[in-house]
Amino acid sequence: MMKRVLALLVWALLGCLVSVADEDPDLPLLPTTPPSLADSVVVALDSVVQDLEMEGDALSSNWKRRIFRKGWSINDTSIVYPRALDFGVRTYRWLNYALNYYDTAYVVNPGKTSGKKWKIMLKNDNWIDFYSGHLSQWKSYVQMNSDVTSLFGFQICGMGLSFTYMINARDLLAGKFIRNRRLQFSFTTSRIFIEAYYRKHDQSTLHLNWLGKWHGSEIFSGLKRESYGFDAYYIFNHTHYSQAAAYCFSKYQKRSSGSLLAGIYASHQDVVMDMSMLSDELKKYLPDEVTDYRFRYRDIGFLFGYGYSWVFHHGWLYNITFAPSIGYRHSFPNSIEGKKSLMSTNLTAKMALVRTAGNFFYAFNLNHEGHWYQSRQHSFYNSYSNFDLTAGFRF
């Protein structure tokens, strides 16, 4: 680089002196350079330019050889990239620092400290649905719950990628067709947590526990449910508190800390209860002749909450997160009360107990998500509760 600068300065200086002498007749003319010397200067400058071009070509190929021989890390600042690629690498480093910075006295990344960037986990995933409320001007109380759906499988994740394979062990052993479908997506950084979901239960068999003045246990097969939505919130104390340490196991919380949470949510709920499928004995406890109850609505609003991680012993972490939400609810025309605008109130709560021993970790997670529909005619609370057991290994 210095050779190129010196050569250009010499060439510019000679050009300036010649041009000034030509324009100002009062200045003495420069002595004419002998042709042999001028030719030598031109040849020398051409040689310098060629050397610099060859040096640039060598630099452009050197970063490839370095990565191939010694491996690649996005944070290795000693690698000299081409200009366009260097801009992309620098942009990624800045975003990674802005979104994933932690105070290492509180939170550490095992992938950086130990080089273990991949995880393999054995998982037991269980969930149950719960429904309760009052029908027809709050005259008749109803309560029911589903069976526990239990999944077993494994998950491999690392470098932002994840692969999961699960089987419904209960239905497999019973020889039943799996009618419950569930899709989930989550994205987390030090500052932001985003979670999206889709769930659909077709012709689910539930246990009816309460209907008006009747109380007992009866199988009910007249419920269908479809729901989808997302939550996104900002973690204010993001340098000291990690949500991922308790629920994703990609970070390790060293000291106790908590944080306020605030964000937005959107959801769509469609729950259909066909009471015509009740036995004649139970139909007598319905408040009127209506047998088709459908709660179909869409919510959008704000959520506020708090999360706290308690490190009560070396390698042990207990987390609890509580986030109620409030906003606007739109009831669809084919819902039980038709098209209507209501206030939306929902609840998300989480709990986790995590044990870390070297590269091994074990966890128990509990997640509750509830949606409460309330008007002058009806109230209805439908919820989804999930509890997981996980055993994993970093490598």
pLDDT for 56 equals: 47
Rounded CA-CA distance 212/287 in Å is 8
pLDDT for 100 equals: 82
User: Higher-confidence residue: 10 or 383?
Assistant: 383
pLDDT for 171 equals: 64
Three-state SS at 180: strand
- Answer for the pair 372, 346: CB distance below 8 angstroms, yes or no: yes
Helix (H) / strand (E) element for 59: namely helix 35-70
pLDDT for 144 equals: 94
What are the tens digits of pLDDT across the range 240-274? 999 999 998 989 999 999 999 999 999 999 999 99
Sign of CA dihedral 251, 253, 257, 258: positive
Summarize the confidence of residues 293-313 as an average pLDDT: 96
- The first and second tokens of residue 250, run together, are 């990609």
Q: Which domains does the chain possess?
A: 2-100 (no CATH), 107-394 (2.40.128)
Summarize the confidence of residues 111-133 as an average pLDDT: 87
Q: Using CA atoms of 49, 53, 55, 58 in order, give the dihedral in degrees to the nearest 10.
A: -170
Band the pLDDT of 395: cuts 50, 70, 90. confident
Percentage with pLDDT > 90 across the chain: 53
In the chain, helix, strand, coil percent, each to 5? 25, 50, 25
